[in-house]
Structure 1
Amino acid sequence: MALFKQLDEQVERLLALFKKEDNWLIIINADPDALGSAMALRRIMARKVGNIGIAQINEIKRPDNLSMIRYLRIPTHKLIPNLAAQYDKFAMVDSQPHHNPEFAPFKFSVVIDHHPLLKENPVEADFVDIRPKYGAVSTMMTEYLYNMDIRPAKLLATALMYGIRCDTKTFEREFIDADMAAFKYLSKFADSKLMNRISRSEFHLDWMRYFSRAFYNLRRIGHGLYAHCGKVANPDILVIVADFFTRVHNVPWVVVSGTADDRLVVILRGDGLRRDMGKMAQSLMNGLGSAGGHKQAARAEVDVADLDGEDPEIFMLKRLGQGKATIRRI
């Protein structure tokens, strides 16, 4: 029995796109899975195209992401017009073009992702590989490397392994056999000491005040929890706070919100049993801004200006309280 599924047809179609005269930019919304996947795609493109770059649309401030970039030597840069102008072909991993308005100016030739497909937002590209059942795109990229007989070097293997670990939350979230197989396969080549060093760099000391705000504003809504953190330096802080609250006993879902760069950002986490967080995010926004994700993890964003002057926390409480759910402070 083969270790991974055969991708002969996909590999042939993907490699056919790479020409020596083309310059490719891999655009991501940077997190560990996206960073590892971008490194893998860059390795696949190596010596097949003229030039390869990696650019992220978001400002990277999470300590573990910064450590990952530093220790694994990931050459990513903030996406700006002058950088994009140097490239004529664009690829995307761990996202779909409709996920963020900053993707809109680009015509993507390659899209590889594991987020759910939406009928109202079909993905158009020369090469599209979207597998919602996979726990991580890093797993998909490991399969491509294996099918191309490319043995991942230490830093690449560590990046992919860490991407799988983060997106599956060390296999606490939904995953399939391929995720486990990829994690085991990569462990033969990865550096466990580097991985531990990265994973232990989760918090900035000055982020503790956001936890304090979250505890102060914590509310029980029905069976779930909601906390508003106010204005935050970076939306990644909300992810960390939300993940922390998922550890509370007998709480099936958590919503944490805050504002950053004049946008309301909402992070949703669930146990995957009672409510679908992706659907919940879309329901909360009801057409405002962008919303979506998986059954256990989702995100929504909307410009504060689109709230018609309403306080972001009050806006969220009203949306979460629809259906006469009981709301009380903890």
Structure 2
Amino acid sequence: MAYFRVLSAQLAQLQALLVREESWAILITADPDALASAMALQRIIRSKVKSVTIARTNEITRPDNLAMIRYLNIPVVKWRPSMKKKIQRFALVDSQAHHNPAFAGLEFSVVIDHHPKTDDPCSAPFQDIRPDYGSVSTMMTEYLYSAGIRPARLLATALQYGIRTDTATFGRGCTDVDLRAYHYLSRFGDATLMNRILRSEYMPEWLPYFSRAFETLRPCGRGSYVWLGKVDSSDILVVVADFFLKVHGLRWVAVCGVSAGRVIVVFRGGYGKMDLGAVASCVFPGIGGGGGHKTMARAEAALVDVPVEARSGLEEYVFQLIYTAAEKRRRQQAASHGEKKAAPEESGTEEARRRTAKAAGEKKSAQTKGAAEDAVPLPEAPAEPLESDVQA
């Protein structure tokens, strides 16, 4: 079996689009996988065209992403519509045209992605979309390998980090080819730089948000709900949600808040059957949108589109929407597996309190009786940090 895919035909198709007199822009919603993938594509095409610019459509505020750009010298600039007149060709990596309003009106020549395909795909002449891959960084490693390009130290480290973050250090959506790509890149990457990036997880000013998260954490059906209120950036929601992935016993968590006039929900799941992407798509019916993978997803809506009467109790309003969407999805999954249809549960805060009180009573009773089945908590095993995408 070949170490990687043989991409001779794809590379020939890509090379056919390259014209010496043309300038290219690689657009990304900046996160580690997108940044690394854009670096790799730039390396492949830069000698065949006039210039290649990596342009981000989002603000970068997460410390790990800022550290990645700084330590790996990634030449990324902020995308401005005025740049369009100087660019002849556009490429898109780790995303698709419908993922971001900033991509509207642009005609892409290249789209390389690993997210699920849409029913309304773009008309790019070169497209490579592989939802079965854990990261686009893995795909770009294959392209470099097939092109006979040995990745330099900084590029190899970037691709390694891109693979780590999008597979949650090989714990989410990871395949054999992701592992092979990471192993191959380890020959050329810089472990010291990787560790410096991995240790750049939190900003000091974010710590109060964690305190608020612990105070507002409560059950939401079979998952958990956190309300952070107004936040400076939606990246904070992502960081807090990723933190809760490390908490034993949480099936999934929805971390919610308001940023830049939008109500945003970031979903993360460590285990269980719940498809969080499907839940996210149903949270804001008629006023917003959402989607994502089974274990990580996002939903959002403009605050002005939230019913006026709900704005004074926004925390509870969003809780009810998430609870309803999650329970609906749970029953759909149960029905699709031929399981007995679950009886309707009480909804909202009272249901959460009832479940919590019942669990506490059962635990106290079991402790009093000295029941043998009461499990002794195991010591936590040291875990490497989990990084995720910055979401636009």
- TM-score tier, shorter chain, comes to over 0.9
Task: Name 2:64's counterpart in structure 1.
Answer: 64
Matched, 1:233 2:258: no
What is the distance in 2 between the residues matched to 1:74 and 1:175? 25
Per the TM alignment, residue 287 of structure 1 is displaced from its structure 2 partner at its CA by 4.7
Aligned residue identity for 1:118: T
Partner SS state of residue 274, structure 1:
coil
Who is 2:301 aligned against? 302
Distance (Å, rounded) in 2 between the aligned partners of 1:327 and 1:84: 51
1:126 corresponds to 2:122: no
8 Å CA contact retained: 1:154, 1:190: yes
Query: Which 5+ residue runs of structure 2 have no aligned equivalent?
Result: 328-345, 357-392
Do the aligned residues in 2 keep the contact of 1:219 with 1:327 (CA within 8 Å)? yes
| Distance apart, 1:22 and its partner CA | 1.3
Distance across 1 between alignment mates of 2:19 and 2:317: 50
Shift of 1:97: 1.0
8 Å Cα contact 2:135/2:162 also seen in 1: yes
For residue 96 of structure 2, what is the aligned residue in structure 1?
A: 96
Q: Residue 277 of structure 1: CA displacement?
A: 1.3
Q: 1:272: Cα distance to partner?
A: 5.0
User: Contact 2:32 / 2:165 at 8 angstroms: preserved in 1?
Assistant: yes
User: Which moves more between the two structures, 135-144 or 8-17?
Assistant: 8-17
Q: Distance in 1 between the 2:270 and 2:123 partners?
A: 32
Amino acid at match of 1:226: Y
Q: Indicate how the Cα distance of structure 1 residues 13 and 67 shifts in structure 2: closer, same or farther if over 3 A, else same.
A: same
The question of 1:318 aligning with 2:355 is answered no
Question: Across the two proteins, how many residue pairs are aligned to each other?
Answer: 329
Question: CA separation in 2, counterparts of 1:127 and 1:287?
Answer: 34
In 1, Cα distance between the equivalents of 2:272 and 2:146? Answer: 35
Could you tell me how far apart the structure 2 residues matched to 1:272 and 1:305 are? Answer: 35
- Does 1:12 find its partner at 2:12? yes
CA deviation vs aligned residue, 1:146-200 (integer Å, no higher than 9, x gap)? 0100110000000000000111111111111110000000000000000000110
Alpha-carbon separation, structure 1, partners of 2:235 and 2:228: 12
Contact 2:282/2:289 (<8 A) preserved: no
Q: Distance in 1 between matches of 2:166 and 2:323?
A: 29
Query: Percent of aligned positions with the same letter in both sequences?
Result: 52
**Structure 1: distance between partners of 2:39 and 2:288:** 30
Distance 2:271 2:97 in 1: 26
Moved more, 138-147 or 250-259: 250-259
Q: With structure 2 as the length reference, what TM-score do the two structures score?
A: 0.81
Higher helix share: 2
Superposed CA RMSD in Å reads 1.6
Secondary structure at the counterpart of residue 108 of structure 2: coil
Instruction: Give, in whole Å, the separation in 2 of the partners of 1:207 and 1:84.
Output: 36
> Given the two structures, how large is their TM-score scaled by the length of structure 1?
0.95
Q: After TM superposition, which residue ranges in structure 1, 4 or more long, deviate above 4 angstroms?
A: none
Is there any run of 5+ residues in structure 1 with no aligned partner, and where? none
How far did residue 83 of structure 1 move? 2.9
* Aligned residue identity for 2:147: M
Q: Is the Cα–Cα contact under 8 Å of residues 238 and 266 in structure 2 kept in the other structure?
A: yes
More deviation in 213-222 or 309-318? 309-318
